[in-house]
Amino acid sequence: MHTKILASPSSSTVQAEISSLSSTRIPLIDILRGYALLGIFLVRMVEVYSGWTTGKASTLPTAHTDMLLHQLVAFFAIGKFRALFSLLFGLSFYLQLQKFEQKDLFFTQNFLKRLGVLFLFGLAHTYLLWSGDILRWYAFAGLILIPLYKLPTRALFFVGAVLVVVPNIAEDLYHQLSVHTPSANPDEALAVYTLTSTHSYWEMLKANFIIVNAEWMNLVANLCHVLVITGYFLLGVWVGRLQLFIPGQWKKQYLEHKKEIFKLAIVLFSAAIIAGIITVGALVYSGVSIKSLFAQDGLFRVILFHSKTPFIVLSHIVGVYVLLQIPFLQKQLSVLAYAGRMTLTNYIMQSMFGILIFYGIGLGLWGTVGPTYCIPLTLGLFLLQVWGSKLYLSYFKSGPLEYIWRILLR
């Protein structure tokens, strides 16, 4: 440790080493990043920007197909692609850690700087474009990750498995048992209306500030959200420890560690069952009727939703890998890597697409388009992003926001 300090290289040398580390990429991870970006974009367009709700579904001519497609999006996409993206973040953390250790560089200091820059991007995105930004929460979760990533491999996946299930259920339990039911905030409700209907960006900006500042005050939800993200980060580090994403050795490593993967599934399932039993017991003890637990928004449905998410995330990863073994599909799916290499730029750009298409400052289609039209629209826009990323990367090494990121890290 003292040797590192005494023999520390110049800042320019360290920066050159760090840049060389960042340039090494694993194609499968970039493909999965691109795939996760597509899923996140799909959910944001259908659930957030379009303004479509199940309550308004009957007013549109595409009502039946809208409901069916929404159920599919809810089952396969909502919450799953964010989780996949978080797992990939944890995996990238581990891969960077390994490379820094090989180069004898100070990883924690550099990672903290990265988290700071990530938080700044998140704040800008949150206040200027979209209140649902996830980057700021990644920065907080990254702080928790630092003291936990050195856990033994088994402890990593156990703690990660518990965190991806239990905090969400605990949050719902908190709201179910809460004596004080939060009253509707008229200012926030007006802000949501202004956000989607105004033709002035300045008015939209002010409305967004009101919404975001109200969200900051929801401490329980924010804490649970950060803990769940941390859980997926830890599972990403665990996957890295198993060396599952070494190019050309995925199948071999999977076969060697399938017992550990099976154990992970058992732990996830067990954590969900235990949390469910405790939750239901607490609710029944407090006087909540069993019948209400099975209602549409009842806790049993909530538990089922949060419990199945990790399994569906794993199925997405395995599904992409299996499809990549088919020569024809391998060529088609590999283009997702271009979008994956410009993750930050494309993520922010998707917010701009949603605002310009559905909000009042753009085309103003809020509430007029259901999933039937929203899904193909999203697919078309994402293909445009893939093509644009490929074209841009043929001239430059990284995306525009990724370039700014690198400048801020110097």
Q: At what angle do helices 80-103 and 107-128 cross, to 10 degrees?
A: 150
Residue pair 212/127 in contact (Cβ under 8 Å)? The answer is yes
Tell me which residue of 143, 159, 156, 32 sits closest to 85, measured CA to CA.
32
**Stretch 354-372: mean pLDDT:** 94
Place 271 in a pLDDT band, splitting at 50, 70 and 90: low
Residues found in the chain: 410
Structural contact between residues 177 and 282, judged by C-beta atoms closer than 8 angstroms: yes
Mean pLDDT over all residues of the chain? Answer: 82
386 pLDDT tier (thresholds 50, 70, 90): very high
235 vs 164: CA distance, rounded Å: 9
How far, in Å, CA of 409 to CA of 393, rounded? 21
So what's the pLDDT on residue 362? Answer: 94
| CA separation for the pair 370, 56 (Å, rounded) | 9
What is the spatial distance between Cα 83 and Cα 359, in angstroms, rounded to a whole number? 27
326-351 per-position pLDDT tens digit: 888 888 999 999 999 999 999 999 99
pLDDT at position 272 over 60:
no
Whole-angstrom Cα distance, residue 373 to residue 376? 6
The pLDDT score that the predictor gives to residue 116 is 96
pLDDT at 260: 64
Residue 104 is encoded by which pair of tokens?
């004898």
Mean of pLDDT values over 262-277: 61
What gap in Å lies between CA 34 and CA 28, rounded to an integer?
A: 10
Lowest mean pLDDT among 72-86, 270-284, 334-348: 270-284
| pLDDT at site 43 | 97
Q: Which residues contact 340 (CB under 8 A, 6 or more apart)?
A: 29, 30, 31, 32, 33, 34, 35, 37
**Band of the pLDDT at 314, cuts 50, 70, 90?**
confident
pLDDT greater than 60 at residue 12: no
Check: CB of residue 390 under 8 Å from CB of residue 338. Answer: yes
Give me the DSSP letters along 170-192: HHHHHHHH-SSPPPP-HHHHHHH
- Provide the total of helices (H) and of strands (E) in the chain, helices listed first: 20, 0
Which of 95-99, 323-327, 375-379 holds the top average pLDDT? 375-379
For 107-162, write each residue's pLDDT tens digit. Answer: 788 899 999 999 999 999 999 999 999 999 999 999 999 999 989 998 998 999 88
Beta-strand ranges (E) seen in 260-331 are: none
Cα end-to-end span (Å), the chain:
24
